[in-house]
Chain A
Amino acid sequence: EVQLVESGGGLVKPGGSLRLSCAGAGFTFSRNSMNWVRQAPGKGLEWVSSISSSSIYIYYADSVKGRFTISRDNAKNSLYLQMNSLRAEDTAVYYCARVPTGWLGDAFDIWGQGTMVTVSS
């Protein structure tokens, strides 16, 4: 079964850091570009970051640029999001989502179940 499983969420104080992970299974992870999308409580979806299959192309939303870093380890079938200088407005469920191809210009066909990040003192 093709699936994505996120982990690493939790409660963190403003200014703190957190590292999210996303494990892929049931497909050849190294062939797919990947993304992080977040959803604040009761709000809509917000794209956060994308990384191509070989990590050559990386993009960030302006709201996280300079604070978040996306990376991947194809040998471990894993995607990561290092989040630094966290703010209250970063509080959200964070989803990882797959692109069915190795390049970034495609829809997100598989989503994980999400991991909750709460930034509060």
Chain B
Amino acid sequence: QVQLVESGGGVVQPGRSLRLSCAASGFTFSSYGMHWVRQAPGKGLEWVAVIWYDGNNKYYTDSVKGRFTISRDNSKNTLYLQMNSLRVEDTAVYYCARGVGADEHIDYWGQGTLVTVSS
């Protein structure tokens, strides 16, 4: 069965960096686009970024452009999110998710990892 397991969350000071990882199993990772979606405490879902199956196309929400970088290693079945210049408003649970279909809609989600940006 599809499994997505995030790691790398924690508490970090504003302006610092953090890298999230997502280990995928149960499907052919290199055939699927992958997303990061976040959810601030008590708030709704916010789409963050997507990377196509081959890593050749990446798209971001405006609020993280220039600060976050999505990447993948298909040989390791792993998705990454490098987060630089973190802000208090980046505090959220970050979900790794699989994309499918022409629109890369999300069909499977990980359980999430909490990132807290605080001084």
A binds B: no
CB within 8 Å of B: which residues of A? none
CB within 8 Å of A: which residues of B? none
